[in-house]
Structure 1
C-alpha cells in the first residue's frame, strides 16, 4: 500500500474512533439526564443531587450574601435570575432558616418538593448534545416548561467524579435577556417588579418586607 493511501486509511480510522467516542459521551449524557429526571419526579432529592454540577452549588453559594443582606436597591442591581431567586427563596424560608441554609440544602429541598431551586427554570427534556471539550464539558438544547424548546439556551453538562452532571444555572445568562424587559418600569424598582411577578407566579399576596435584608 502506498504511503498516501496508508495515511488516508489511518485518518479515516481516527475519525471513526473519534466519532464513536463522541457518540458514547452523548449517550452517557442523555442517560445521566434521564436518571436525574427519574429521581427528580420521584421526589428523591438526595439522589437527584448527585447529578448536579458543583457549578450550581457555587452559584447559590455566591447568592447567599445577597439573599441575607441585600436591600431593595441592591436587589434591583442583581441580574434577573439572581433577583428572582432571592425573592422566591426569601418567600420560601423564614429569616431564621435563611441564616442556616446552604446551597446544597436549597437544591435538595427544592428537588424533594419536585421543583427546581429558586430562580431556575424547570428542564423538561434535552435535545441535541454538543461536546464542547471531550470528556470534560458538553451542552444541550433544552425544553423548558410548559414544553417549549429554547435553541439559544444550552444547559451545560460537566464531567465530575466520573459522571456527567448538570449545571442548572447555565441557561441563566441567555434567558436573562427575555426576563429583563418585564423588570423595566419608570414607576417601580426592578425588585418591586420582580415581586409583582412572583405574586402572580405564586397566586398570592406577598408582603414587601421580603425586599429588605433577612439576616437575624
Structure 2
C-alpha cells in the first residue's frame, strides 16, 4: 500500500513524533484519526460525531441542559467562555427545537453555528504526536506546515480499539482565545463576554435573556431618560459623512458624552431621547441643531480632539447579570452605553460581519456586509447589510492583504473613502472623523 507523505514523514521522524518509546507505528493511526476529524469538521459532515469520544459527545448535551434550565446565578458558576456557549445555544435555536434535537443533531448544530472547529482547515495535520497508553496528544500544523504549529494541544483517546477525538483541545483553545481578547481589548472579563454575546446575536442583551426559557416574565423596566427634553446634553461630533457623486443625504455621528451613547443621524432626524432636538443641517465641517432656544452649531472638533477611553467606569468584579441590569434602563447595546469598541481593532472586527467574496480569477471581488451593529464605525461610514465593499481609500479590496490594510485604516485614519455596490448602484462615501487615538500616540 502506498503511504501518504504525512505517514512517511512520521515514520522518518521516529522518536520525535512517536510514543515515549519512539514508536512511529503507534502515531500513525492517531494522525489518521486526527486527519479524518479535521476534514469532517471543516466540511461539517455528519461523520464528525462518530469520530468523537464518549465524553466529547456528552459535552453539548450538558451545555444544553444549562441553556434550557440555568438562571443567571447558575450560569455564574461556569467559566465565561462556557457561559457564552450556553447562551449561544439558548438564543440561536428556539427552545422547543433545541430540546428536541438528538445528540447528533445537537453537535452538528453547534458546529454549524461555529461553536467549535471554526479554525480547522481540511489540510491541517497533527504533528509532535505523543502516545501514552490509550491517550494521545499533538499540535495542529496549519495546512500541514511545521512552521505554523498552533500553540494549544489536541487530544485523542482510544475507545474500543479506535482513536476518538476529545473536545478538551477545543475548550482549552477557547480559554486561550478569550484571554487574548480580554488582553487586547482592554475590557474586563465580564465586559468582554457581554460584548461578544451582543455582537454574536447582533442585538441588545437584557436581563431577561439570562433567564431560562419559560421563566416567569420580569416586570419591564422603564428606560432612563437621557436628559430633560429642554436641556441640550453634552454632545460632540465624532464623524461626518457625505455621498460622493450621488444624491444621498449626509450623516453625522453624535456622541452624548453624559450617557456614552452614539447615534448616526441625517438631516431631519431627532436626537433619541430628546424629541425637541433636531438635526437641521450637516455640512462638511459641522452639524446645525435646532433646539428649543434656537440653533446650535457643533464642529467636528479641533486638532487635539480624539475618541479617548470609555467614559464610564464600573466595578471591577461583576458578571453578565450585572452588566445586563446596568443596560436594562438604557437604549442600545453595551457598545453604545459604555462607549465600548468604537475603533479598537479586536472590538472593531466583532461589530460587523464582512465576508470575503472570492472572484472567478481567484482573488477577491470585495467584502460582503452580512451584519453590522448600529452606531458602530461600519455604520458611521455608510455601510448597510448586503453591500459589497470593493475599495477603501483608493485601494481595491481584492486580496487578504488589502483587507488587512482596510482594518488598519478603520483603526487609525481620520478620513475614510469607501466604494461599494448596493443592489445595482455603485456608491462612494467619504467620512471624516476625529482622531481614534491621542495625537502622537504610537500604532497599536
Classify the TM-score, shorter chain.
0.5 to 0.7
Q: 2:89 is paired with a residue of what secondary structure? A: helix
Contact 1:137/1:159 (8 A) holds in 2 = yes
Contact 1:59/1:169 (8 A) holds in 2 = no
Q: How does 1:1-216 map to 2 (within 5 A)?
A: 22-45=23-46, 47-111=47-111, 113=112, 116=114, 118=115, 122-124=119-121, 125-134=124-133, 136-142=134-140, 149-151=149-151, 153-173=152-172, 175-176=174-175, 178-180=177-179, 182=182, 190=190, 193-201=192-200, 204-205=202-203, 207-208=205-206, 209-214=208-213
RMSD of aligned alpha carbons: 3.6
Tell me, in whole angstroms, the C-alpha distance in 1 between the residues paired with 2:44 and 2:170.
23
**Alignment CA distance shift 1:74-1:143 (3 Å):** farther
Query: Could you tell me how far 1:32 is from its partner in structure 2?
Result: 1.5
Q: 1:156 is paired with a residue of what secondary structure? A: strand
Contact 1:81/1:119 (8 A) holds in 2 = no
Tell me, in whole angstroms, the C-alpha distance in 1 between the residues paired with 2:40 and 2:116.
20
Q: 1:158 is paired with a residue of what secondary structure? A: strand
Query: Could you tell me how far 1:88 is from its partner in structure 2?
Result: 1.4
Structure 2 regions of 5+ residues with no counterpart? Answer: 1-14, 216-444
Tell me, in whole angstroms, the C-alpha distance in 1 between the residues paired with 2:91 and 2:81.
15
Which of structures 1 and 2 has the larger relative contact order (alpha carbons within 8 angstroms, sep 6+)? Answer: 1
Contact 1:140/1:155 (8 A) holds in 2 = yes
**Alignment CA distance shift 1:107-1:68 (3 Å):** same
Contact 1:127/1:143 (8 A) holds in 2 = yes
Q: Which 4+ runs in 1 deviate beyond 6 A?
A: 18-21, 183-186
Contact 2:37/2:48 (8 A) holds in 1 = yes
Tell me, in whole angstroms, the C-alpha distance in 1 between the residues paired with 2:176 and 2:42.
29
**Alignment CA distance shift 1:68-1:150 (3 Å):** same
Q: 1:32 is paired with a residue of what secondary structure? A: helix
Tell me, in whole angstroms, the C-alpha distance in 2 between the residues paired with 1:120 and 1:83.
18
2:8 matched residue in structure 1: none
**Number of residue pairs the alignment of both structures matches:** 189
Please list the CA deviations of residues 152-200 of structure 1 after superposition, one character each: whole Å capped at 9, or x if unmatched.
Answer: x2111111233211112334246525525739967xx83x642421333
Query: Could you tell me how far 1:104 is from its partner in structure 2?
Result: 3.0
Q: 1:96 is paired with a residue of what secondary structure? A: helix
Give the TM-score of the pair, scaled to structure 1: 0.68
